Amino acid sequence: MNETERKVNELAKHSYGTWRRQELWKTPILIKDAEGVYMYDDKDKPYLDFSSQLMCSNLGHKNKAIIEAIIKQAEKMPYIAPGFATEASIAAVDALRSVVPRGLMKFFFSTSGTEANEAALKLVRQYKAPNYKIISRYHSYHGATAAGITFTGDPRRTIAERARCTIQGVRFAPDAYCYRCPFGLKYPDCNIQCARYLDYMIKEEGNVAGIIVEPVVGTNGRIVPPPEYFSIIRQICDENRVMLITDEVMSGWFRTGKAFAIENWNITPDILTTAKGCTAAYTPVGITATSEKIAEFFEQETMDHGHTYAFHPLALSAIPAAVAEYKKLMDTGLPRRVSKYLQKKLYELADQHECIGDVRGIGHFWALEIVKNRETKQPFDVRADKFTHKALMTNRIAGEAMKNGLYFAAWYDTLVIAPPLIITEDQVDEGLNTLGKSLSVADKEAVSTGVPASKTSEYSKRT
Ligand SMILES: Cc1ncc(COP(=O)(O)O)c(C=O)c1O
């Protein structure tokens, strides 16, 4: 063991690795540098970043304008208590108002997506009291705290429930998951049952205060709802006087082509939460953006929430620079052009690999759902396998890709293809070439059905 390996081992021994058994936190790869769409380990081996780290480094690594803004603020005034106004908060609010959907006009700043959702929950419950129930969906992730994990559908909630680390009053609605429709229906004959069922749920449940949804589901599948979905949901919320919270922690910041994913469907939520891309992940910020109606309510009510690091000047200093960089990048037309290229290439990849059941997504936000049998949609692994000792197929593919210099995130059934928005066509080719080779791990164990990908992939029929 050399000196570097010894230091990494010491780190792992004395720190907790996230979301894993600690026996799997022994020898994390040491990353020494990152620039553009690449990161480099201590042996200078490059890895193409095909997931923008955790779907947050949307502008790539080492963006000069953002780094300069942070340095300037660090030199000027890194911290002051949230009860004071700062030039950093004035500039951050100003920049945000130029980019969030119209109608959202008042912001709370925290330091993570989880906290952005926690604040949303408290605001909604105060605003809607005595109604308190929150409806979420099974394919969702909304945060790590007791509240955030309770309205999370993915396997992490099950562990938190067993440990009694959850809150009361959360219910789950069906997903807009056409590839495996919970009602066994087919779009468009389905009449968008997954959306309409919410009306029934709200009325039968009673005391519902709000619904929280990821407009395009992130970690749990890059699920893009049918075109009619959100206008139906907005109408159901209005008719039942229920607040609509859109969680854009991952889907925001031009990842889907629009500044915020919900803008693809021309509706405005009552609350929008975001984080990650708001600073391109250069500093930790969570944002809870609310409508004027909610803002007015709190004129005469205590906003019962806050943190020492709320409105943190150093953290907020990255927001105006990031907003300016996003606008500049979108004006070049590169992300729009490359997203179409990526989509075309992913469909072609699916034609070459039997293990790809579904290809779905939008913009720079794609899922490859990996299956053992394309015809029956039999998966290699299921949600319950996620935190067992089983070596999941998606992790095996991601491990193979890492060996060959390609990084992407994997979940129990999907690969996350969500590169930084600065990626070029050549870099997409480079990534997909390595990905293609890595998929042979799954192809070897997949059933040879001869069924073309276009037959099973639901979204290719719509786009
Ligand atoms: C949709 C969504 N909401 C909330 C969160 C939690 O954000 P954070 O990890 O910054 O607490 C995440 C994190 O991945 C997310 O994807």
- Residue 54 Cα: closest atom of ligand 1: 14
pLDDT tier, 87 (very low <50, low <70, confident <90, very high otherwise): very high
The span from the CA of 93 to the CA of 317, in Å, is: 11
HSE of 369 in the Cβ direction (CA atoms, 13 Å)? 25
| 171-197 mean pLDDT | 97
How many angstroms separate the alpha carbon of residue 113 from the centre of ligand 1? Answer: 5
Asked if residues 421 and 36 have their Cβ atoms less than 8 Å apart, the reply is no
Strand partners of residue 212: 245
pLDDT tens sequence across 228-282: 999 999 999 999 999 999 999 999 999 999 999 999 999 999 999 999 999 999 9
What number of other Cβ atoms are within 10 A of residue 181's Cβ?
17
- In this structure, the answer to whether residues 407 and 366 fall within a common structural domain is yes
pLDDT at position 39 is 98
The predicted structure's pLDDT at residue 463: 59
- Both 352 and 289 in one domain: the answer is no
Q: How far is the CA of 368 from the centre of ligand 1 (A)?
A: 20
Query: CATH number for the domain including 36?
Result: 3.90.1150.10
117 and 246 co-located in one domain: yes
Mean pLDDT within 52-77 = 98
Same domain, 349 and 399: yes
Q: Is 70 found in the same domain as 55?
A: no
Domain boundary pick from 328, 356, 379: 328
* Structural domain of 239: 64-328
Q: What is the overall mean pLDDT for the chain?
A: 97
Return d(Cα 274, Cα 283) in angstroms, integer: 13
Question: Into how many domains does the chain fold?
Answer: 2
CATH number at residue 307: 3.40.640.10
With contact defined as beta carbons under 8 Å apart, do 7 and 27 qualify?
no
Of 314, 275, 304, 317, nearest to 80 by C-alpha is 314
Q: Strand (E) positions, 90-238? A: 104-110, 133-137, 170-173, 208-213
Q: Which residues line ligand 1 (CB under 6 A)?
A: 54, 112-114, 117, 141-144, 214, 218-219, 247, 249-250, 275
Q: What pTM does this model have?
A: 0.97
Contacts of 214 (CB under 8 A, 6+ apart): 140, 141, 142, 246, 247, 248, 249, 250, 251, 261
- 356/258 same-domain check: no
Task: Say yes or no to pLDDT of 459 above 90.
Answer: no
Among protein residues, the one whose CA lies closest to atom 16 of ligand 1: 250
Phi, psi of 148 (to 5 degrees): -60, -40
277 alpha carbon – ligand 1 mean position (Å): 11
pLDDT tens, residue by residue, 298-311: 999 999 999 999 99
Please report which confidence band the pLDDT of residue 1 belongs to, taking 50, 70 and 90 as the band edges.
confident
* Ligand 1 atom nearest to 248, measured from its CA: 1
Protein residue whose Cα sits closest to atom 14 of ligand 1: 250
Q: What percent of the chain has a predicted confidence (pLDDT) above 70?
A: 100
- Neighbour count for residue 423 (Cβ, 10 Å): 25
Looking at residue 457, its pLDDT comes to: 85
| Burial zone of 438 (CB within 10 Å; 0-12 exposed, 13-18 middle, 19+ buried) | buried
Last residue of a domain, one of 302, 328, 354: 328
In the listed set 287, 312, 328, which residue is the last one of a domain according to the structure? 328
Q: What is the pLDDT of residues 344-383, one digit of tens each?
A: 999 999 999 999 999 999 999 999 999 999 999 999 999 9
pLDDT at residue 456, as a whole number:
84
Q: Which structure tokens are listed for 33?
A: 């540098």
Residue 397's CB: how many other CB atoms inside 10 A?
Answer: 24
With the most atoms of ligand 1 within 8 angstroms of its CB, the residue from 55, 141, 309 to mutate is 141
Distance CA 146, CA 122 (A): 13
